[in-house]
Structure 1
Amino acid sequence: MERRIRALVIAEAANPEWVSVPLIGWSLSSALREVADVHIVTQIRNRDAFIRAGLVEGRDFTAIDSEKLAAPLWKLAERLSMGKGVGWTMKTAVTTLGYGYFERLVWRQFGAAIRAGDYDIVHRVTPLTPTANSLIGARTRRAGVPFVMGPLNGGVPWPKGFDAERRREKEWLSYIRGAYKAMPGRGASLDAASAIICGSEFTFSEIPAKYHAKTVWLPENAIDPARFSLTAPQPGTLPLRGCFIGRLVPYKGADMAIEAALPLLRSGALHLDIIGDGPQADDLRALIARESVGHAVTMHGWLDHKQVQSVAATAQMLVFPSVREFGGGVVLEAMALGVVPVIADYAGPGELVDDATGFRIPMGSRAQIVAGLRARLEAIAADPAVLPAMAQAGQAKVMGQFTWAAKAAQIERIWRAVLDKRPLPQELPRRR
């Protein structure tokens, strides 16, 4: 039996009680503890949640207090982003300015142990953004300990024809985001890494070709099977039920989902559940009233995770034409429930769904997406018997490849390849 790897896992953002990046950081770091001897290093804001989750400070994790810089930077980011829930590129850029300070504190506390060989590998899990350079990588490499970065993800370009949505999200900084590639320290970070894990094909494409041999595509999202105990009914007959899950903002496409489904909603062939809340909610209600489809569309508002699962598990399809998803975790969650995704073929969702597990609508203008989605929904309504086999294939794919336990096993194999100086395993087939 192989000796368990001793790993220092840096997860500045990691919290079991939050969502998005902190939940990914927590879920992956925790799963890695099952396959290796892992000590997690996180930021002080996560300390109490770690303890509530049963981890022991000092033994299982260390909380680094970088609030002297992190707190004022967060306040500045909130002001510059010009609104709650918008301007994410600005928030990421400003808060990332303080990450170097966090890593300096990490090295101050763990540098001696790394140099002494107490850890076989050092892995930075979060931040996910590839714009956050890692100063600790070069120091770790000089100490003779391999350094791994990732999953890195973010910065998926806004598709053409959606500038109005981009402006409504106050994504002004996204117009010059590519400038990060010229920032000092990026080359040193990539040079220092023994393995670079990319969570999306786009992020992979931004890694210079000379590093591709040590770069692996591995989506960052996964699911916890214990949280998905329901399976949606798939009778293969009409009427159908579809659901949309997400923040109600223009780029997520709830309005496109409703518009595309109008003929089926009017005919009684489809009922649509809209799960989520946001600034577009009133506009959606007005659209539903104007088109007289209130009998066929239910606006649920914000629901907690268990309630989301209960509603989604009554649907046969996830109707989700979002045009800018980095990871697409909601797609994996739908597949875990046996709900067939019907998605815009772009970024994260387009990489997770294949012809056996769902339907991908070609990207284009807003009108083209609505037309393509309408044609697809009408084709499904004409032959709903296609759905049961897809639902089963989707569940099997998620439970086999996209649980947190599977993700930890995939990364552990990458670690062993690094330590053995073997070519890195490409754990999942890339869609090129």
Structure 2
Amino acid sequence: MKKPRVLILADDCNPDWPSLPVVGYKYALSLAKFCDVTIATHVRNWENIEKDPQSAGIDFEYVDNEYIARPIHRFSTWLRGSGNAAWSTAMILRYPSYLAFEWEVWKRFKGALNNGEYDLVHRITPMSPTMPSYIAGKSPVPFVIGPLNGNLEWPQQFRAEQVREKERARALRIFYRYLPYSAATFKKASLILSSFAHTARDIPKSERAKSINFPEVGFDPKLFGCSDRTPAFGGPAPYNFVFIGRLVPVKVSEVALRAFCESAILSKHRFHVIGDGPEMERLRAIVQKNGRSENVVFHGWVEQRTVGEWLQKMDGFVFPSIRELGAGVVIEAMAAGCVPFVTNYGAPGHLVSNNRGYRIELGTIDEMVQRYREAMEDAVKNPEQLQTKAEAARAYADPCFAWDRKAALTVPYYEDLIEGRQITDRQDFT
């Protein structure tokens, strides 16, 4: 069969911006290796895409909806008071500008779609199931949406952190189904890729037969491989633990630092903090209060492309975040051979099942501090377990989550749709 001809919608698609933009970019680039693609993305991504050598030879179409996106972004930033908080508010306000993006794409490509120049349309970003698609109801060819990710509730024990994250607007989320184009998005979609059980529950029951489990996270083997591993794993050197992420309330990084700093057993080892944010001052105070300034190092932000180098040097990735929809950094740690210590809630708990790391049960902050401390102490006292878990983590990440592998797993679904065959779930991500 000839290569599928795919129009990819990727509003968020940027090699230098972390989280969703880089995920969208990596997935789109890998799909281009297996399909004839045109990637429609926002004009804001132009500079970073064009200077990246990996984008050479790929057809990017830059769409300009700044006439509405710019004023809404300014208003959203003012209302939220920060770019690192009130994500539900940001998503609500983004609705009109995203519809304008798809409207501009439709104006540009409706002729080509109606003339049969593409076999299907695949919207890979945005990934929120609350963001409707205008094109889903217009496309004359099969429409694929996802991987979607969303619908993870705030744990009851962390309502204070929800307030600090300015997430009061989350209560309005239930009304997204009444937005224009929302019902048609799922009804008209030929295939829905959804991430993890929490997202699958958000798909309308009438459309779940078209939904398959397909997590959105992935990793670049060139950046997160294991070839340069230098961990202690029971050797004479101190163990090195690391937290990587935004220092914001939802990540509850204080749990990781308190667990490390309050342990006499861990006093011979080291903890690294990579990231920055409003919690920095509180974290430094925790370290100083416990007299562990020589054991804890704050590195601030590092470039995305260097995160893999850090993970290859670390023995354990300690990530107590309590509301992770996808947790791409967890897969990156697993691929790099760095054993994850995660909260058993949402995506991290799913990824780290089956002895692929340490899963710490959700509880109050004090309860989680104790549980994370016990897990890290167990790791340094039983290094053979650390090695076993690292090997299990790599064995899970490599065949399922390398970007090219994920793209290759996507193509058979495209072929089924193009040939009119019934869709069946072809890959087990458990």
Pick the TM interval, shorter chain: over 0.9
Are 1:167 and 2:166 an aligned pair? no
Q: Is the 8 A contact 1:264 1:270 kept in 2?
A: no
CA distance in 2, matches of 1:48, 1:320: 33
* Pairing 1:182–2:181 present: no
| Amino acid paired to 1:223 | F
What is the one-letter code of the residue matched to 1:341? P
Question: Which letter does structure 2 place at the counterpart of 1:351?
Answer: H
Inter-partner Cα distance in structure 2 for 1:326 and 1:214: 21
State the partner residue of 2:16. Answer: 17
Using the size of structure 2 for normalisation, the TM-score is: 0.93
The answer as to 2:217 corresponding to 1:224 is no
Q: Which residue of 2 aligns with 1:316?
A: 315
Structure 2 alignment gaps of length 5 or more: none
1:199–1:220: 8 Å Cα contact kept in structure 2?
yes
**Partner SS state of residue 97, structure 1:** helix
- Pair 1:343–1:111, CA change in 2 (3 A): same
Alpha-carbon distance between aligned partners in 2 of 1:82 and 1:263, rounded to the nearest angstrom: 34
Inter-partner Cα distance in structure 1 for 2:306 and 2:15: 18
Partner in structure 2 of residue 149 of structure 1: 145
* Contact 2:18 2:304 survives alignment (8 Å): no
Paired position in structure 1 for 2:89: 90
Shift of 1:269: 4.4
Q: How many Å separate the matches in 2 of 1:270 and 1:89?
A: 39
What is the SS of the residue equivalent to 1:133?
coil
Answer whether contact 1:413 1:425 (CA < 8 A) is retained: no
* Alpha carbons 1:232, 1:338 under 8 Å: kept: no
Task: State whether structure 2 residue 371 is matched by structure 1 residue 375.
Answer: no
User: Is 1:255–2:265 an aligned residue pair?
Assistant: no
Mapping for residues 37-76 of structure 1, pairs under 5 Å: 37-54=36-53, 55=55, 60-76=59-75
Shift of the 334–351 alpha-carbon distance from structure 1 to 2, 3 Å rule, reads same
More deviation, 233-242/118-127: 233-242
Compare 25-34 and 412-421 and name the one that shifted more.
412-421
Q: Alpha carbons of 1:352 and 1:177: their partners in 2 closer, same or farther (altered >3 Å)? A: same
Partner of 1:197: 193
Corresponding position of 1:283? 282
Alignment match, 2:233? 235
CA drift of 1:368 comes to: 2.4
| Residue in structure 1 matched with residue 408 of structure 2 by the alignment | 409
Aligned residue type for 2:40: V
List per-residue Cα deviations over 1:83-136 (Å, max 9, x = no partner): 231111111211122111221111111111111111111111111111111121
**Partners in 2 of 1:301 and 1:203 — Cα distance?**
32
CA drift of 1:77 comes to 1.1
> What CA distance in whole angstroms lies between the structure 2 residues aligned with 1:56 and 1:384?
45
> Which deviates more from structure 2 when the two are superposed, residues 4-13 or residues 181-190?
181-190
Q: How much has 1:192 moved relative to structure 2? A: 0.5
* Contact 2:224 2:309 survives alignment (8 Å): no
RMSD of the alignment, in Å?
Answer: 2.0
Q: 1:373-419, CA deviations, whole angstroms, 9 ceiling, x for partnerless residues?
A: 22222322331211112212212322211111011112112212222
1:295-324 superposed Cα distances (whole Å, 9 cap, x missing partner): 222222222235433333222111111101
Structure 2 distance, partners of 1:181, 1:11, is: 22
| Aligned partner letter, 2:339 | V
Tell me if the contact between 2:9 and 2:39 (Cα under 8 Å) persists in the aligned partners: yes
Structure 1 residues 336-355: aligned runs within 5 Å: 336-355=335-354
Decide whether the 8 Å contact of 1:288 with 1:294 is kept in 2: yes
> Does residue 360 of structure 1 match 2:356?
no
- 1:150-194 CA distances to partner (integer Å, 9 max, x unpaired)? 111134211111111111111121122222123332211101100
The alpha carbon displacement at 1:196 in A equals 0.5
Distance 1:18 1:305 in 2: 8
Amino acid at match of 2:61: T
Counterparts of 1:134 and 1:329, CA distance in 2: 25
**TM-score calculated relative to the size of structure 1:** 0.93
Letter in 2 for 1:357: R
Counterpart secondary structure, 2:387: helix
Range 380-389 or range 329-338, more displaced: 380-389
* 8 Å Cα contact 2:400/2:429 also seen in 1: no
3-state SS of 1:268 partner: helix
CA distance in 2 between partners of 1:265 and 1:422 (Å): 61
Question: Which segment is superposed worse, 176-185 or 12-21?
Answer: 176-185
Aligned partners of 2:263, 2:310: CA distance in 1, in Å? 20
Contact in 1 for aligned 2:266/2:377 (Cα 8 Å): no
Q: Secondary structure at the match of 1:18?
A: coil
